[in-house]
Structure 1
Amino acid sequence: MANSNPLRSPSSSLSEVNLGPSANPHAKPTDFDFLAVIGKGTFGKVLLAKLKADNKFYAVKVLQKKVILKKKEQKNIMAERNVLLKSLKHPFLVGLHYSFQTPEKLYFVLDYVNGGELFFHLQRERCFLEPRARFYAAEVASAIGYLHSLNIVYRDLKPENILLDSQGHVVLTDFGLCKEGVEPETTTSTFCGTPEYLAPEVLRKEPYDRTVDWWCLGAVLYEMIYSLPPFYSRDVSEMYDGILHKPLPLPPGKSGAVCSLLQGLLQKDQHRRLGAIADFLQIKNHVFFSPINWDDLYHKRITPPYNPNVKGPADTQHIDPEFTREMVPNSVGRTPELNAGTSSSNAFNGFSYVSGEDSFL
């Protein structure tokens, strides 16, 4: 039987994993002033940083290698990097400028997007009117449709992963749970995602296809309209029972178009779900989106319904204070000595990357 992991031979140790061609070893933590914590995740933090060479601001995602290796997540981290490299050409996906590593840490240098998480705005406003929800849902659908065109399933769509830029356009971020190589007729089966947004087929641990992303879009749209995800309960088992077995609750007072879209996206049978037949095209053509000119949307010619009114690239007013109150760890800005322990560094061969436009490197 062929080895199922092309990154590793059956007899290789973790330190011999080859994760792609290496590139640009010159970037280092001391190139930056790290100013504030702006996000946190399982493997590290996201920081606002200013590049000393040109005073430009970036979001730098700093990941601890030892935590990644302990949880055996290096393959997912490299998948995130690969998706970031492929997503540079879409207006609603966060851009990777370059990545580099030290013996202890991995660094993603990303666009700094400071209009705030959709989650942050939803917490503050509870819910949105339909035109605003439609605008965000359309930009997110455009981004998901693009990923699907590259045979990538996103798998973790939720308000925390949807950012607004300084003008109010959507920027999808955090590709750590993406799955590459999922063609239109194929499935995958890894159990992953966020409880409130899991599709029924994932909960049932059945093979699933790219329509899991359309279920998640439905869940996010539902939350934008009704203030909570569908079937939400503090009791997780009760919530899962609702996702698996109960009819979709649609409180009165909303348009028939949005209710129709929600019923189509939150269809428990993935083969009958909206998007199962023609993927993004089927979403675009739904009556709820009839006010949207998709070409204008893609080219950002539609004025966003909400402007974050940020005061400049260092403005953190829309970043959750839970993050910004934290002290920036001193270790993230230090470049370790070359003879520092390197036991884990070979597991991330090929992580470093620089795009052509960043010529200062």
Structure 2
Amino acid sequence: MQEHQQQQPKSPLPPRSPYQARARSTSDDWAERGAAVHVQREADANGNVQTKTIKKGVKDFTFGRILGEGSFSTVVAATDRQTLREYAIKILDKRHIIKEKKVKYVNIEKNTLNRLGDHPGIVRLYYTFQDERSLYFVLDLAPNGELFSVLKKLGTLNMECTQYYGAQLLDAVGYMHDHGVIHRDLKPENILLDENMRIKVTDFGTAKLLSMQKSVNGTTGASSDNISGIPIEDDRSNSFVGTAEYVPPELLTDKAAGRSSDIWAIGCILYQLLCGKPPFKASNEYQTFQKIIKLEYSFPALFSPVARDLVSHLLLTDPSKRLTIEQIKAHPFFADVEFGPALWSRKSPRLVPNSILAGVK
């Protein structure tokens, strides 16, 4: 994004955002044309329902610190000027995503988040709007960063913490699957922690949307709400996606991924939380893939037997033999967990490393 901006003539920055550099007339035009429109219904004192149209655009937010940067996007903290509520806003450079053929992933993320709606363990999309240079996704703010950062600091997590975060991840993934969404890139970097240290799964750019309903002519297909003004690309359902250490073997051998591919990733994450590293790790991607295909991994001698039993039933080469979401919930590893709403009101445990495996390689 910075490289792209250097190629453009700059005008004085308006105070509302460090990312807007343009003439006032053009900015005002886009403030209307690119704003998100939200219809809100409220009852007055007499019980009469009134409809109120709310528009949200760049001018309605005060932009703050940078939370993260990707290859074609920047995530910043922002405050709604009217409500003073804080959000994370993902800013995507239009020219760059078109040039690099990333439009498909932008649309996938928007459509997926719209389908998932509001779940405590999934980052929520509130508004999408645009100006002549950028697209904006207004998302939940997760002030405690990534679960990966916790692992980087502590090295490992003990059984209580692993059970807590594993249960929340399981609940969130189960909700995704029930709504026809396969994440396909689950990893600690894509698991954020909110103000209460509870998880929020993010980054749905490589997700797979499954058909949820039949159309009038009998064909099946998920709705695709394309972002205005940018042509959508052809989707390749079997294209390679994911991160090497968490990629399931079926994606490497059959070039296909299903719900059980997310189950494989959960197994990798549980192993990593307890051991401090993924089960399949080599000096390069090719060697990592070979380990995955051959199911070449091992448990440390002091690895919990109940955790070992669970992980070994998730990291299976045959996707059909992996445990289902409901079977995982019923596993002894989660014996003390009350799934459902109570899971999300439960106080998060104090972050403690897995001392049993401290120093074990």
Letter in 2 for 1:42: S
Shift of 1:45: 0.7
TM-score scaled by length of structure 1: 0.73
The structure whose Rg is larger is: 2
- Structure 2 residue 305 is matched with structure 1 residue 260: no
RCO comparison, higher one (Cα < 8 Å, 6+): 1
- Structure 2 residue 262 is matched with structure 1 residue 249: no
Match of 2:185 in 1: 156
**SS of the residue 1:217 aligns to:** helix
Shift of 1:83: 1.7
2:250–2:319: 8 Å Cα contact kept in structure 1? Answer: yes
Match of 2:320 in 1: 271
- Structure 2 residue 144 is matched with structure 1 residue 119: no
Match of 1:212 in 2: 261
2:280–2:288: 8 Å Cα contact kept in structure 1? Answer: yes
2: distance between equivalents of 1:194 and 1:145? 21
Range with greater deviation from structure 2 (286-295 or 131-140) = 286-295
Shift of 1:188: 4.8
2: distance between equivalents of 1:52 and 1:271? 50
Match of 2:37 in 1: 24
Regions of 4+ moved over 3 Å? none
Match of 1:137 in 2: 166
Aligned pairs for 1:325-344 (under 5 A) are: none
Shift of 1:31: 2.1
**SS of the residue 1:250 aligns to:** coil
The match for 1:302 among 332, 346, 349 is 346
RMSD: 2.2
Note the alpha carbon deviations across 1:22-51, whole angstroms, 9 max, x for none.
962943323222111101223211001122
Q: 1:23 to 1:57 in 2, by over 3 A?
A: closer
Match of 2:334 in 1: 289
**SS of the residue 1:139 aligns to:** helix
TM-score scaled by length of structure 2: 0.73
2:151–2:273: 8 Å Cα contact kept in structure 1? Answer: yes
Shift of 1:151: 1.1
Aligned pairs for 1:173-184 (under 5 A) are: 173-181=202-210
1:97–1:110: 8 Å Cα contact kept in structure 2? Answer: yes
1: distance between equivalents of 2:36 and 2:210? 24
Percent of aligned positions that are identical: 34
The match for 1:146 among 175, 185, 201 is 175
2: distance between equivalents of 1:54 and 1:228? 42
The match for 2:200 among 168, 171, 174 is 171
2: distance between equivalents of 1:172 and 1:210? 16
Letter in 1 for 2:280: F
Shift of 1:86: 2.5
Note the alpha carbon deviations across 1:180-226, whole angstroms, 9 max, x for none.
0167xx99522100111111111224322110001111111111011
Letter in 2 for 1:41: G
**SS of the residue 1:288 aligns to:** helix
**SS of the residue 2:313 aligns to:** helix
Q: 1:182 to 1:261 in 2, by over 3 A?
A: farther
Match of 1:99 in 2: 128
2: distance between equivalents of 1:114 and 1:264? 34
Q: 1:53 to 1:296 in 2, by over 3 A?
A: closer
**SS of the residue 1:127 aligns to:** coil
2: distance between equivalents of 1:249 and 1:257? 15
Match of 2:43 in 1: none
**SS of the residue 1:294 aligns to:** coil
Match of 1:4 in 2: none
Shift of 1:297: 4.0
Stretches of structure 1 that go unaligned for 5 or more consecutive residues are: 1-21, 309-361
Match of 1:11 in 2: none
**SS of the residue 2:265 aligns to:** helix
The match for 1:233 among 267, 276, 282 is 282
Letter in 1 for 2:328: I
Stretches of structure 2 that go unaligned for 5 or more consecutive residues are: 1-34, 39-54, 213-220, 222-235, 353-361
Note the alpha carbon deviations across 1:61-105, whole angstroms, 9 max, x for none.
001111221232222212211221222331111111111011221
The match for 2:89 among 60, 64, 87 is 60
**SS of the residue 1:249 aligns to:** coil
Count of residues in Structure 1 that have an aligned counterpart in Structure 2:
280
Q: 1:182 to 1:262 in 2, by over 3 A?
A: farther
Match of 1:330 in 2: none
Letter in 1 for 2:347: T
Letter in 2 for 1:232: K
